[in-house]
Amino acid sequence: MAQLSVMEQCLAMLTNIVNQQNQQTTLRSRIEKEIRYLPIFEGRPGTLPAFITSVERALQDYESQSTQVFTVIYNEKIQGAAKNYLEASAPKTWKECKTKLKMQYKPTKDERQIASEIGKLRVSSILELTDKIRIFVSDISKCAIFSEY
């Protein structure tokens, strides 16, 4: 009789494990479907700010499963040179991943350089001014995503 209850306990535990596996697979599938529209980040210049914004939106949607969401994003949406860079010391969390990506892919111009260029700005036409302003706005936008302020 004691053997039967041990076998029943084992069967119950195995059934529980299978159910948990199925739930995790279902959650992963649902997350994969939801994030399929997120951009892939490969380390191309200028693409990190949009990637960070989209990942953070996805993480807000799945706040209670953020670890699972990060794992799927890390495995599916970070590729190429960026993935190679991160693999040397794989991040455990999105915060750690974001910090590493920001360090590696920060803009080439910092705030001081942009301010200096604005101060030295000389143009000879409205069209040239428009082009320069567009470049400054782009540089400032890239710089802003990397700023802690």
- DSSP string covering 9-67, please? HHHHHHHHHHHHHHHHHHHHHHHHHHHTTSPPB---TT-HHHHHHHHHHHHHHTGGGHH
Residue 1 has pLDDT above 70, yes or no: no
For residues 135 and 139, what is the distance between their CA atoms, to the nearest angstrom? 6
Higher local confidence (pLDDT), 63 or 149: 63
Task: Tell me if the pTM is above 0.75.
Answer: no
Length in residues, the chain = 149
pLDDT at position 3? 59
Answer whether residue 59 shows pLDDT above 80.
yes
pLDDT in tens, 115-147: 899 999 999 999 999 999 998 888 887 777 676
The DSSP letter of residue 88 is T
SS3 148: coil
Residues near 66 by beta carbon (within 8 Å), at least 6 away in sequence: 59, 94
From CA 118, how far away is CA 6, in angstroms rounded? Answer: 77
- Find where tokens 């540089």 sit: 139
Mean pLDDT for the stretch of residues 20-40: 71
**pLDDT-based confidence at 77, cuts 50/70/90?**
very high
d(CA 120, CA 59): 42
Residue 78 pLDDT exceeds 90? yes
Summarize the chain as % helix, strand, coil (round to 5): 75, 0, 25
Beta-ladder partners of 78: 41
Residue 72 has pLDDT above 60, yes or no: yes
Direct distance between the N- and C-terminal alpha carbons of the chain, in angstroms, rounded to an integer? 68
